[in-house]
A and B are shown apart, each in its own frame.
Chain A
Amino acid sequence: MNELTPLAAFWLIAIPLISTPLIYLAGRLQVSLAAGTGMGGGRKLVTANGQVVVATTSATPRTPAPDVARWLGLMALAATWAPFIGATRDLIANGPAKFGLESIALRFDGLSLLLALLALGLGTLVMLFSGQGVSGAAGTEKYYTLLVAMVGLMIGLACAGDIFNLWIWFEGMAVASYLLVGFHHEEPAALEASVKYLVQSAAGSVLVLLSIALILAQTGTLNLEEIRNTAHTTPGLLAAGALLMMGFGVKGALVPLHTWLPDAHAQAPSGISAMLSGVVVMAGIIAILRSLAALAGVTPSWGSLLIGFGVLNIAFGNLMALRQTQVKRLLAYSTLSHIGYILLGVGIGVAYGQPAGTQGGLFHMLTHGVMKGLAFLAAGAFLYGLQPLFESDRGKLTQRSDAAHASPLLISDLAGAAQRYPLVAFTLSLALLGLGGLPPLAGFMSKWQIFVAGFATQNPVVGGLVIFAALNSVLSLAYYMPLVNMLYRQAPSKLVEHGRAIPLTMLLPLGLLAVTIVAIGIWPGLVYWLIEPAGRVLLASFGG
């Protein structure tokens, strides 16, 4: 461990956070200037019946003024890649580094690197993707600002070295995500999802605070490493561990606490769904692991508990997903089951000291982020392509009158979509097949490694659980496949026939993610520089 000033890691957190207010101010400035001159942007008008419409005052809505906030956000995230590369180099060359501002202890290690890469990578692609997706809605500058802020806060969370700090970063990220989930606040369903998300998450964060109080009272410190050195088995610390697990577990969507997830994932703008599923939920898992690791000396049962929640999540998520009819809700439930695989892998690693387990779990965190991110973005692209029809002709075209649901994308809406949107359909299929664990795609490799870890324990119970997990993986094909199949139907649905073209900025992120899935699937060694240190740090922090 070196004590050099890890300047790169500092800027990795600082750039997104510093640029956040600038982006917002610039965005507001553009909006008010446009309002003054009557050009571009958008103003909210509340019509007589309480409906809010967005009046694009510009005479030519097809060529809107370039969105300053979006470009600034994109630049901020692009600029963040420079310190990211620097920090990665430092990490590989010198190992984990501690740094800090005054008394705020931060450390940059393998686990931080993994989460930072997920957040920054998906964040950049989502930023690129979101241009047309959210345009036309009110307050896009808030969207971009919050997205950059969320990325910065998550990187900070990944580096947090004391437990209160962890909570602060976590809370900040949570606030940004509540607002982003409820971004389409003219839709009651989005509001509903956002409210549930907020209340449940806030309840969880109170549990974390109570746990912090217990830990402070029992050990007299908040620094994770110092806690680890002083923690003994006491009822108070046991309770603290349970509170941490359940508190962060709300965000991490462990099964009885998961109820916010399908709503939020399904109602958020698709880019945000991708961020939620690929990174925010994972940040919850990382927070659980980081904080529980500090209490590793309290009881040896953390690993078993993680395995238990893992298996519960796998089975529950799969069964819930099996009968879904909405694309994004199906994907949301499948996230639940994939969280289960991650927990299973990490749990096996922690409980039995298997490096393959922690590495496999984190590997799956990475591959799931890529695959699910792609799946949600592709769903978003379809939503964008078919959107004008949801609003106007849907009732006519589909002979359905469930107007109560705010235009969800049904699986049957995508019939024959491959003919009109070959690239989007192909990438979505790749993502789904990868999620179902078919080789040679990324998801197969990470699941395989988790299974290897399970069998390496040579424990029949764990072996049985692994087989159960694999069985669920087969079961999951029973809902991924009909969706893939629907895309390649020969008779396209009316909606697809009337869909509009999807712009290049949306296709580019899809293509990049799809290539990543195949590349990792064919050569998993490609990401070992990332996975191995992360798994090692995690295992070491649990004393393995």
Chain B
Amino acid sequence: MPSIDLTTILTLLTVGFLWIGAVAVLWAGDGRRQMQNLLAAGFAVAAGLAALGLLPLATGQAVVRIAMGSFFGDFTFVPDGLGVFLAAVATVVGSLAVIFSIDYMHEEAQLGRYYALVLFFIGAMAGLVLAGNLLLLFLFWEMVAFCSYALISFHNDDPKAVAGGIKALVITQLGGLGLLAGVLTAYATLGNYQVEYFLANAHTVPPAALAVIAFGFLIAAAAKSAQVPFHTWLPDAMEAPTPVSALIHAATMVNAGVYLLARFYPAFADVPGWRTAVMTVGVLSALLAAGLALMATDLKRVLAYSTISQLGYMVYAVGVGAIFASQFHLLSHAVFKALLFLGAGAVIHLVGTRDMQQMGGLGRQMPFVRNVFVIGALALAGIPILNGFWSKELILEAGFAGGPFAAYVIMLAVAGLTALYTFRTVWLVFFGPPGADSPSRERNPAAGDAPPAMRVALGTLVLGTFVTWLLAGPFGNLLEIGIKGPAFGHVSSTLRVVEEVLAAPTTLIALIVVSLGLAVWYWRAKLPANATASGAAGFRAWFARDGGFEGLNHAIAGLIQGSSEALRTTQTGQLNWNIVGIAGGLAIVLAILALGA
């Protein structure tokens, strides 16, 4: 039994506040909405503060240890640098999403179910990144999947929401099988579930088994982080209430995959082909999703695709070996993507549609939302001096130095595409000519800007996009605590990061590409008309089919449903036929025994 010190208490409170909050909200009941709002926001903020308080206390030691019995090992929590950082991201961004929900969900029924699931979701994610036991990690992994399902299909009278939720659940669970196989293989070969033990003894695992673990974890991470070929669930998850989308995209769910790769990178880096596979997944996802984002007309789908694309950057960075850069970009992305989603939520809340073609000209009506959204968009596009710029540059630089050149070129091009689709989105929503049947004019002539609770959340995030990059130095030091490995890149101070980025030639190249993307959008009308038309048509046709992945999903689902229906005919209800089953079963067993023994 370790002594009860502050670290232990804060670790337990980070998860505990959220789960107690979930129960408290349910207990309050749907009759008392104000009470529910207060409880949810209070517990979420408390958990965020606990996680922030944990930042300076990060340690590589297990602080909680519960013996679970023979086949389950000891459940431990290890608040090391990486874990504490991600827990802080999850709880802080999560609590902002909860605060935002107070306004956003004010007309919804079943508020208790909503808040309870949201708090449980954030708590599960915090538990996931703090877990020091592979089984415990898997447990939280599954809980996160369940919560995402329940929240995506929160509007469960809408078949689209239900289908989207079940799709998210089944696809991430399929990926979870990889994690299951990996964890079980690790336990079978090492006889221990502890993460630290595994990282320290990975070299003693037979190569074949280690390959199973490495690629199993990669599959799990790809499914959770919505990377190719598992990315199809994320756009469909847009049926969720918008704060939930912000949670999934910025705070909790998709970060889990990148976390998994970063956490176990030291063990897997030497597995043949693993780093190449990670890079390939990242590059393909970044490229495909950027193209899809360019085509989409649904505001939230654009943001969803951009998440996939940005996660592609992070995965690519892990493949290259730049763990620091990938986690730094994760931080930036969490801030600006939460900002974009909550901003989009404010827009959708006002306009009542997600179709960008029906928006346009909203800038004058909601200047506050416009301003914050534009800042988020600039950060996403990688414009200096916002946080997205620094982290993306670091990734590109590391890719140039440590990865194949072709991958670097593609990622560079994606940076240009990112700028292109970001500006297209901002233009369509806030500046372009109002859509033909824009409801913004007719239905809500008096509708104002964002209400106060929304402003609190949005304002905090705007501040974040300006300042989080200044934390690069402390952040680098934080990551050093706990995990060992040269791959983390010894980042000692923010100044060095700044110098490094500004001095690198890749920065200039990247900025040129980004401005190229901007220019393409600005002068889109002046481009040769037939070139854009024919190019776009082919492009559009390919992306409309989502590169064929959506078709694959349908084919598999259809096959399973079809075989289920076919199999059901075997239950004829005829007694004589049932007897045939008994006689047949006996004959088969006798035959097997006669042949086998």
Contacts and interface: CB of A to CB of B under 8 A. Distances in A.
A–B contact at 8 Å CB threshold (below): yes
Interface residues on B, range: 35 or more
A204 B582 contact: yes
Interface stretch (A34-42, A81-89, A371-379, A464-472): A464-472
B571 A262 contact: yes
A455 interface: yes
B204 interface: no
B180 interface: yes
Contacts of A243: 586
Contacts of A445: 72
B589 A246 contact: yes
B12 interface: no
A216 interface: no
Interface stretch (A94-102, A104-112, A521-529): A521-529
B61 interface: no
Contacts of A519: none
Given A299-B593, A448-B72, A478-B166, A455 B188 contact: yes
A477 interface: yes
A233 interface: yes
Contact of B69 (A254, A322, A360, A524): A524
A452 B560 contact: no
Contact of A323 (B67, B135, B561): B561
13 contacts: A241-B593, A256-B584, A259-B581, A301-B596, A305-B589, A323-B565, A323-B568, A448-B72, A485-B153, A490-B110, A490-B156, A490-B157, A528-B69
Interface string B577-594: 111011011101110111
Contacts, number: 176
A199 interface: yes
A249 B67 CA distance: 38
A471 B178 CA distance: 10
Interface of B: 67-72, 109-110, 113, 135, 138-139, 142-143, 146, 149, 153, 155-157, 162, 165-166, 169-170, 173-174, 176-177, 180-181, 184-185, 187-189, 560-561, 563-565, 567-568, 571, 573, 575, 577-579, 581-582, 584-586, 588-590, 592-594, 596-597
Interface string A18-40: 00000000000000000000000
Nearest to B171: A474
A490 B139 contact: no
Contacts of A304: 596
Given A320-B568, A359-B70, A477-B166, 12 more contacts: A196-B575, A200-B578, A238-B594, A246-B586, A322-B564, A439-B139, A444-B139, A455-B184, A470-B177, A470-B180, A525-B72, A528-B69
Interface in A283-308: 298-299, 301, 304-305
A408 interface: no
A333 to B, nearest CB: 9
Nearest to B578: A259
Contacts of B590: 239, 242
A255 B156 CA distance: 35
A413 to B, nearest CB: 16
Contacts of B135: 448
Interface residues of A, number: 75
Contacts of B146: 433, 438
Contacts of A489: 156-157
Nearest to B145: A438
A455 B134 CA distance: 15
B482 to A, nearest CB: 25
A440 interface: yes
Contacts of B174: 471, 474
